[in-house]
Structure 1
Amino acid sequence: MVIPNENAETARMELANRVFFRLYQCANMLHKTGTRAVEAEGLTTQQWAVLGALSRPTAEGGMSVGDLARYLKVSRQNLSGLLSRMERDGHLSTAPDGRDRRSRLVTMTASGRKVWLVEAQPKIYAYYDQVLDGFSVNDVTHTLHYLLKILENMQRVDDAQGDGAEPDE
């Protein structure tokens, strides 16, 4: 005899497996095709994310490395090499934070702002247009809603697991 709740849970887990596999594929394709969209500007999707984060009005005065890492959901260790390359390329600068000398403040340079606004952003918008072809505004709104719910739940899981990382800078 089949128990209905077991069938429902099995179906739910099979669907969950498909959702998370598709998220994995989307992340890989975003990295691959997104990087191609901005490679002429010397950027990768990771650098695009950093410039995007620093271009927000709330980040106008810069962001600490720890805050930037938390915002992007990456470790400071992974962000460190990326920031060094971007600083070397002239897209951003880092300096001691005036409010906390132990912390480094990351800001976009004039050159980085030009690359972001003039060179990369038009290509990024064209990329969005291609990838979201066939999506209505309502479809995009619903997709964003569900991705945010997944992200919030993942953040709760991460917080409960702890990452063993050292305290902020």
Structure 2
Amino acid sequence: MSKSAAMPAESLVPFEVTLHVRDHCLCLHMQRAARALARLFDEALRPLGLTNQQFSLLMSLNRPEPPSIAPVASLLGMDRTTLTAALKPLERRGLVNVAPGEKDRRSRLLAITPEGIALLAEAVPIWRRTHDAVDSRLADPEPERLRQALRAMS
């Protein structure tokens, strides 16, 4: 029998440590805040049939030239496989077009379609209202300081 199996759990990691982690763990608090924000934006965008992830993905494609998968994945903090899976429902809805690259046929270029742009145009005012409501709840730290801190961590 291992030493840890013979000792009661509370003597290995006292409950006070659990409380300390609960109250101080940045990762835990970031995850909880991210989930709460995701739910808030998901609810706001639901009338358009979008999730906050899909809104961010469409917005990341709103650029003069269609990007390849790698820079979009990097911007969104996703791996390529996850991004490819996230694109599929948008592609089925006709909001995104995934096409082979002109120079390298193995690469994939991601383009937002006119339908995607139209939906994004409907979504932006909803996003602004929701975002303004979130910003107004952040008295300290100020929203821009928080964004800077989060960017520094990502």
Identify the TM-score tier after normalising by the shorter chain: 0.7 to 0.9
For residue 32 of structure 1, the aligned residue among 21, 36, 39 is 39
Runs of 4+ in 1 over 6 A off after TM superposition: none
1:160 corresponding residue in structure 2: none
Alignment of 1:41-60 (within 5 A): 41-55=48-62, 59-60=63-64
Determine which structure has more spread, i.e. the larger CA radius of gyration. Answer: 2
Residue aligned with 1:63, SS: coil
Secondary structure of the residue that 2:111 maps to in structure 1? strand
Separation of aligned partners in 2, 1:39 and 1:134? 22
Q: Find the partner of 2:82 among 78, 85, 88.
A: 78
Aligned to 2:125: 122
Cα displacement (A) at 1:19 = 2.2
Q: CA deviation at 1:66?
A: 1.9
Which AA in structure 2 matches 1:37? A
Deviation at 1:17, TM superposition (A): 3.8
Q: How does 1:138-153 map to 2 (within 5 A)?
A: 139-151=142-154
- Whether 1:95 and 2:75 are equivalent positions in the alignment is no
TM-score with structure 1 setting the length: 0.73
Q: Give the unaligned 5+ runs of structure 1.
A: 1-9, 152-169
Cα RMSD between the aligned structures?
Answer: 2.2
Of residues 121-130 and 15-24 in structure 1, the stretch that sits farther from structure 2 once superposed is: 15-24
Q: Structure 2: how far apart are the matches of 1:64 and 1:16?
A: 41
Instruction: Give how far 1:99 is off.
Output: 2.4
- TM-score w.r.t. the length of structure 2 is 0.79
Does 2:30 match 1:23?
yes
Q: What is the rounded CA distance, in whole Å, between the counterparts of 1:100 and 1:135 in structure 2?
A: 46
Q: Which residue of 1 aligns with 2:3?
A: none
CA distance, structure 1, for counterparts of residue 143 and residue 22 of structure 2: 21
Percentage of matched positions with identical amino acids = 26
